[in-house]
């Protein structure tokens, strides 16, 4: 007769059939265990692939201070605009959108508006930080505005 369920337990009416069924259940459990193991391995491999893709990605963003782009080789470019009021000369601070890893960056500025007057700015060395730098200039009758680009490292 084989196995039958009597409402509470599985009853063995036929010993060889019971063994065959138990063997099949054992194999099913082994396959399930292999699938779980494979699933965990696959998840790890997928996570590794996602990490590799992220390492190769070009990441960018922006905020009130400007825009930035991070390249996979560790190079970062940031751009923005800064203004210095006309009165009294003084400094033109440049606040980066995000920090560089160090202060070995290169700053390029391009005059945007200066009201037809001389536009003389110089890099104020010693004021460089990972989050910004300063330029100084002579007083003019108009505000001085520059577009700036900075190249450096994010790693």
Whether 153 has a pLDDT exceeding 80, the answer reads yes
The answer on 48 and 88 residing in a single domain is: no
Residue 142 φ then ψ, to 5°: -130, 160
Structural domains counted in the chain:
2
pLDDT of 61: 93
- Segment 61-89 shows an average pLDDT of 87
The answer on 129 and 92 residing in a single domain is: yes
Please tell me the distance from the alpha carbon of residue 116 to that of residue 132, in angstroms, as a whole number: 28
Both structure tokens of 104: 């070995």
Q: Which range of residues forms the domain containing residue 67? A: 59-153
132 contacts 94 by C-beta, under 8 angstroms: yes
Whether 131 has a pLDDT exceeding 70, the answer reads yes
Residue 145 φ then ψ, to 5°: -125, 135
The residue whose two tokens read 């039958």 is 4
Query: What pLDDT band is residue 107 in, cutting at 50, 70 and 90?
Result: confident
pLDDT of 150: 93
The answer on 104 and 137 residing in a single domain is: yes
Both structure tokens of 148: 């700036």
The answer on 77 and 38 residing in a single domain is: no
């Amino acid at each position: 007769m084989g196995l039958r369920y009597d409402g509470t337990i599985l009853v063995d009416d036929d010993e060889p059939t019971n063994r065959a069924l138990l063997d099949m259940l054992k194999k099913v459990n082994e396959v399930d265990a292999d699938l779980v193991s494979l699933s965990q391995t696959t998840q790890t491999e997928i996570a590794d692939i996602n990490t590799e893709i992220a390492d190769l990605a070009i990441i960018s963003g922006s905020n009130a201070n400007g825009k930035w782009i991070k390249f996979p080789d560790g190079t970062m470019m940031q751009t923005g605009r800064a203004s210095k009021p006309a009165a009294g000369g003084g400094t033109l601070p440049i606040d980066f959108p995000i920090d560089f890893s160090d202060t070995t960056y290169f700053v390029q500025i391009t005059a945007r508006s200066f009201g037809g007057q001389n536009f003389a700015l110089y890099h104020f060395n010693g004021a460089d930080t990972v989050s910004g730098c300063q330029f100084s200039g002579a007083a003019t009758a108009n505000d001085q505005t520059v577009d700036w680009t900075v190249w450096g490292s994010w790693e």
